[in-house]
């Protein structure tokens, strides 16, 4: 078992502590490559929590490129399944912080309200981002 700064507060990023050399058994990947491809395609190759697209600099950490994983909407530990309807694309940053949290998507009304409350500068930046994101869809 190897611990990092995510496990112990006295370790700095990049520092690790080897507790024992016996490897833990690998967990089973119940989600097939085909299912993974279907979920990524269905979700437009974007994180369903923060909206970051695969391969682009991550909006919360521009030094990292967005890497997508397949996550559960209702975690398996809470009784969720591996059905397509319970799977979504999530980036590595959101997946690290998910800790079995489920964020509901805002409704269109809520989304418009949030945008209207934003500054003109932020609204303009959002418009430019959306135009760039959907320019290939035209």
Domain spanning 29-105, CATH class: mainly alpha
Number of Cβ within a 10 Å radius of residue 137: 6
- What are the residue boundaries of the structural domains of the chain, listed by start? 29-105, 106-138
Residue 100: predicted pLDDT: 44
pLDDT band at 5 (very low <50, low <70, confident <90, very high): confident
Residue 98: predicted pLDDT: 55
Number of Cβ within a 10 Å radius of residue 11: 14
- Mean of all residue pLDDT scores within the chain: 84
pLDDT beyond 90 at 10: no
User: Is the pTM above the cut of 0.75?
Assistant: no
pLDDT beyond 90 at 89: yes
pLDDT, average across residues 108-127: 92
């Amino acid at each position: 078992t190897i611990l990092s700064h995510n496990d112990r507060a006295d370790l700095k990023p990049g520092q690790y502590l080897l507790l024992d050399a016996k490897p833990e058994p690998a967990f089973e990947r119940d989600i097939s490559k085909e299912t993974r491809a279907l979920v990524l395609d269905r979700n437009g190759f974007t994180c369903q929590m923060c909206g970051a697209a695969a391969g682009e600099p991550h909006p919360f950490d521009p030094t990292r490129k967005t890497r997508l994983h397949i996550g559960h909407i209702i975690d398996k530990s809470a009784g969720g399944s591996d059905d397509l309807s319970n799977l979504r694309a999530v980036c590595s940053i959101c997946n690290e912080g998910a800790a079995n949290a489920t964020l509901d998507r805002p409704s269109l009304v809520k989304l418009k309200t949030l945008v209207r409350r934003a500054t003109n500068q932020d609204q303009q930046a959002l418009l430019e981002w959306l135009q760039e994101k959907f320019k290939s869809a035209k």
